Structure 1
Amino acid sequence: MPTSLDVQLFWIAFWCYLIGWFLFTVWLGVKKPILTTLGSVLYVLGFLPQTVGFVVRWVNTGHFPMANMYEYLAVMSWMAVLTFGVLTWRYRNWVISALITPIVVMLMVAASLLPKEPSMQLMPALQSYWLMIHVSLASIGAGAFAVAAAVSMIFLLAARDKQDESFKPRLRAPFQALIIIPLALIIVPLLTGLLARQSAVFVFNVITPRFGGGLILLGIYFLVVGFVWAHLAKTESSAVRRYWAGVAFLSLFIGSLVAGALLKTGSIALTEQSPLRIFEFFGLVLILGTVTLFLLHALLGFGSVPAKLHLEGKLLDEINYRAVTLGYPLYTLGALFAGAIWAEQAWGSFWSWDPKEVGALIIWLFYSAFLHARYQRGWSGTRTAVLSLTGFAMMMLSFFGNYFFGGLHSYG
């Protein structure tokens, strides 16, 4: 089947963003101005076909192209690129611009893994102009949250205080939290068959119920690993804890993308129709994220590379705050208010306790708490950076939750 024009334009944008990100990354090391110029040109060249592809898909299908997860994620990445352009123009800081580009690439990679076939005939529930209002505002708001997360990750990795000159991240805490404890957990089901009856995980077409049981245990541990790590690292300096938090979040996102790719290609298959399959996925992400974390730590010169960027923490914190304040009203209007009106028209009720509805409410409450902590409690810096990254992780879990929880929003 020939690839449609809008998808071809998506791939053109994908490769422009990917090559642009590579040029920005090289610039961080060699500081040649021509690289930022070429990188910026590529992001413009990618933004244009992505925008045109959106319009082409709209014309071809005869409806606003927001009917599936691929289209939603594509608009999120589009908003992230637009915000990248605004921040580059506003702050003229190429280091920040260069370090925002990976979040665009991650969103595009995630979109590329999803089915791209357009819905030529919408189901009755989607045949409403409230679809355009609901999903477009929610996705654009989510794109702003994505940029806030990217800036927060930069803050955790690179922001340094004057007293942080002796910065030396040690491996003791991450080794204990990510190697020793998980090995002890996974050995139990491998030897005893614990939870093996609840799992039918396939690895390269071979059923491995005991390994699946181990994934479930690791997935449960995944929910508390951050707290365990924080306890083990409580004697470390604040700069070291910030650095490891940034590496951990970045590894989490990369590990999730790799896990998604393995599931899409069929290399790994989770247990069908199992309420525990979400924990199998978490366990897989924990394994892949752990490998990624130690590789990233090495690629970052064991912590020495981010320290050379000399970024101002206050500026990064301001951008994080402004991106959240941009996304919050858009997400509020789109995900909650317009979503409730659309739900009443489509299903006869403003609220149905659908998993996606509950997820949107939790995310909105979380970002409301973020702004409250910022305004009323004076939170800033590390605290708001961690909150921003946590909120974005919750958003991505809610987005892909269709694969685990089903519900009324399972449109593909």
Structure 2
Amino acid sequence: MTVAASVNENLAQLSNYLIYSAMAVYTLAFLAHIGEWTFGTRSRVAVQSRALTDAEPAAGEAAKEAASGAATVSAERGRGGAATLERPRITVRTGPGDRGIEDGPGAAGDSERGDVLGRIAIGLTTLAWAFHAMGVIARGASVQRAPWANMYEFSTTFGAITVGVYLGLLALKKPVRWLGLFMVTTILLDLGLAVSVLYTDSDQLVPALHSYWLWIHVSCAMVSGGALYLGAVSAVLYLCRDRYEAGLPHSEETKLARFWSRLPSAATLDKFAYRINAAIFPLWTFAIVAGAIWAEAAWGRYWGWDPKEVWTFITWVAYAAYLHARSTAGWKGRKAAYLALIAFACFLFNYYGINIFVSGKHSYSGI
């Protein structure tokens, strides 16, 4: 018979301090991202589209030809008078049916000040993530187990993994800085909910969780959830950007329109959401299989129609339907985005709704 390790209160308290420190730095990163979007310049896409609308047809055709790829030459007087070639990097959308519009200029809007603020935001996000990750590790070390035995621990670890996935994409030189503002906002909400509503003191596991499958099953579920969250954010932004593009070139140039104009194109957002959901789906499938194996070891059956098991399967079916529709029925755009958001809503309900409001063998919320 093994004796459960006692709780190291010093490490448990250190974990709390680190989580609060992470929240403070995430707040600074949020403000820096706000500055990045505020001080960035206007998108040249909307400006050029509106110019084409006001111009004569012949002039519009000439401008469109120039925007679609004609190189211009500018001479620099002085110091040799060298000529430089400049190729416009945008394609103008001339009608609702034309999806030729390229990506917006990004969160910074091609502004030097906005770019500096964006880099500061990424640096602060990285520092906050370091505090966040150390807080999760300290929580686990305080009781010498995996730090995801209840909803508080799952929420804090889930947030750290989500930010880690985002920073990993940046490290791989993926142009995803536009995700920063939306991700940091929701991570702050996630941690705020965790420390105020879901918080529980560091304690030992219930007997059913004493298994190495805790490391395998739950870690795979959290990594999958972090990626699926980024896919859901991309789907929401796709819907906003697509509506903005549909209004060009006749939409009014409001502050909100300028905001949407700096996002990647609707086609890019749609593709990103699909790729990240498709890439993580096998891991999500493995997490479900691992949970079934663990259930057989713990309770003597692979499937018992527990509410958590049922909604996990519903979530899997929803994402499978989304991927199947994309690959076979040719669903792209708004229909696919709505289906992806329905699938992620199932994921959220499976976590919050089932854990808090429904009793079952997976009732480990701790609240």
TM superposition score normalised by structure 2 = 0.70
Amino acid at match of 2:230: V
Which sections of structure 2, spanning at least 5 residues, go unmatched?
1-8, 41-112
Cα distance in 2 between the residues matched to 1:93 and 1:62: 36
Match of 1:66 in 2: 148
Alpha-carbon shift at residue 37 of structure 1 (Å): 1.6
Match of 1:319 in 2: 272
Residue 118 to residue 382, structure 1, CA distance change in 2 (3 Å): same
Cα distance in 1 between the residues matched to 2:317 and 2:188: 28
Residue 324 to residue 109, structure 1, CA distance change in 2 (3 Å): farther
Match of 2:295 in 1: 343
Amino acid at match of 1:315: T
Residue 75 to residue 141, structure 1, CA distance change in 2 (3 Å): same
CA contact (8 A) 2:37 2:259 kept: no
Residue 37 to residue 77, structure 1, CA distance change in 2 (3 Å): same
1:57 pairs with 2:139: yes
CA contact (8 A) 2:147 2:157 kept: no
The DSSP-based 3-state class of the residue aligned with 2:329 is coil
- 1:294-322 per-position Cα deviation (integer Å, ceiling 9, x unaligned): xxxxxx85x53444325311211121112
Match of 1:11 in 2: 20
Which sections of structure 1, spanning at least 5 residues, go unmatched?
169-299
Report the identity percentage: 30
Cα distance in 1 between the residues matched to 2:248 and 2:118: 29
Cα distance in 2 between the residues matched to 1:362 and 1:162: 33
1:124 pairs with 2:207: yes
Residue 393 to residue 305, structure 1, CA distance change in 2 (3 Å): farther
Cα distance in 1 between the residues matched to 2:178 and 2:318: 29
Aligned length: 279
Q: 2:130 aligns with which of 37, 48, 62?
A: 48
CA contact (8 A) 1:7 1:116 kept: no
Cα distance in 1 between the residues matched to 2:275 and 2:201: 34
1:166 pairs with 2:228: no
- 1:326-371 per-position Cα deviation (integer Å, ceiling 9, x unaligned): 331222111x111111111111111111111111000011111111
Within 5 Å, give how 1:9-408 maps onto structure 2.
9-31=18-40, 32=113, 33-89=115-171, 90-159=173-242, 160-161=244-245, 164-167=248-251, 303-309=256-262, 311-334=264-287, 336-400=288-352, 401-408=354-361
Amino acid at match of 1:18: T
The DSSP-based 3-state class of the residue aligned with 1:161 is helix
RMSD, aligned α-carbons: 2.3
- 1:168-212 per-position Cα deviation (integer Å, ceiling 9, x unaligned): 7xxxxxxxxxxxxxxxxxxxxxxxxxxxxxxxxxxxxxxxxxxxx
TM superposition score normalised by structure 1 = 0.63
The DSSP-based 3-state class of the residue aligned with 1:376 is helix
Cα distance in 1 between the residues matched to 2:361 and 2:176: 43
Cα distance in 1 between the residues matched to 2:117 and 2:292: 46
Cα distance in 1 between the residues matched to 2:361 and 2:147: 19
Runs of 4+ in 1 over 6 A off after TM superposition: none
CA contact (8 A) 1:103 1:146 kept: no
Cα distance in 2 between the residues matched to 1:345 and 1:98: 43
Match of 2:88 in 1: none
Residue 309 to residue 402, structure 1, CA distance change in 2 (3 Å): same
- Of Structure 1 and Structure 2, the greater helix share is in 1
The DSSP-based 3-state class of the residue aligned with 1:4 is helix
Cα distance in 2 between the residues matched to 1:405 and 1:131: 21
Cα distance in 2 between the residues matched to 1:146 and 1:99: 11
CA contact (8 A) 2:158 2:226 kept: yes
Alpha-carbon shift at residue 157 of structure 1 (Å): 1.6
Cα distance in 2 between the residues matched to 1:310 and 1:349: 48
CA contact (8 A) 1:155 1:313 kept: yes
Cα distance in 2 between the residues matched to 1:103 and 1:377: 33
- 1:245-279 per-position Cα deviation (integer Å, ceiling 9, x unaligned): xxxxxxxxxxxxxxxxxxxxxxxxxxxxxxxxxxx
Alpha-carbon shift at residue 136 of structure 1 (Å): 0.8
Alpha-carbon shift at residue 45 of structure 1 (Å): 0.5
Alpha-carbon shift at residue 119 of structure 1 (Å): 4.7
Cα distance in 1 between the residues matched to 2:215 and 2:294: 10
Amino acid at match of 2:267: K
